[in-house]
Amino acid sequence: MKEHKTTYHLSKFAEVVFVSRPGQELYVKKIRNGTVIDHISAGHALDVLKILNIDGHEGDIVSIAMNVASKHQNKKDIVKVEGRELKPGEVDKIALIAPGATINIIREFEVTEKNRVKLPETIGGIVRCANPSCVSNAGEPVSPRFKVEKEDPLKLRCFYCARIMEKQDVLKQF
């Protein structure tokens, strides 16, 4: 049976190693306390870690499952972070790149809260406009604001300069 191994270096302190063998499954144990981010679009688990600034320095146990079979999606990713409950601002950032994600708060091995992320019609203060000439980047006392044109694939329109930003523009900022 051929084994496939892929390594991703998140920082000099953390790396993720994926090992798969045909016909075998790997199960990740339940977490006592923390957050499970489920229904992440396939291939975006590492982007979620980047947005949450998880690079291995924190010492929390982090489990990642990528390209897992799903009933509702063809494939999905899952991220489990032990010992950390997400703050509302972090959930808003996740909504930008994983609009179908579900945030599960775990306490003593039980799901105590379950919420689907939701992008509002307008967002502000999360990302800045990609247009360097935009008034929101010119030192003026205005905060970046965007209208959500489309959730998936992501399209944001700047209120000030009308620049369209997509998922890759957002990910460059984290």
Q: What is the dihedral of CA 152, 97, 111, 25, to 10 degrees?
A: 90
Q: Nearest to residue 101, comparing CAs of 124, 72, 69?
A: 72
Averaged pLDDT, 167-171:
91
- Residue 84: pLDDT above 60? yes
Fold agreement (4-116, 122-171): no
Asked if 82 contacts 37 with a C-beta cutoff of 8 angstroms, the reply is: no
Read off the pLDDT of residues 32-54 as tens digits, 9 standing for 90 and up. Answer: 999 999 999 889 999 999 989 88
Taking the model in full, what pTM does it have? 0.77
Residue 48 three-state SS: helix
The arrangement of secondary structure in 122-171, i.e. its CATH architecture, is Roll (2.30)
Looking up tokens 């620049």, which residue turns up?
163
Distance of CA 154 to the CA centre of its chain: 13
Read off the pLDDT of residues 100-151 as tens digits, 9 standing for 90 and up. Answer: 899 999 999 999 999 999 888 999 989 999 999 999 998 888 999 999 999 9
DSSP β-bridge partners for residue 62? 81
- The DSSP result for 121-171, as a single string, is SEEESSS--S-TTSGGGTT-S---EEEEEETTTTEEEETTT--EEEHHHHH
The arrangement of secondary structure in 4-116, i.e. its CATH architecture, is 2-Layer Sandwich (3.30)
Angle at alpha carbon of residue 128, lines to 50 and 172, rounded to 5°: 35
> Domain boundaries in the chain?
4-116, 122-171
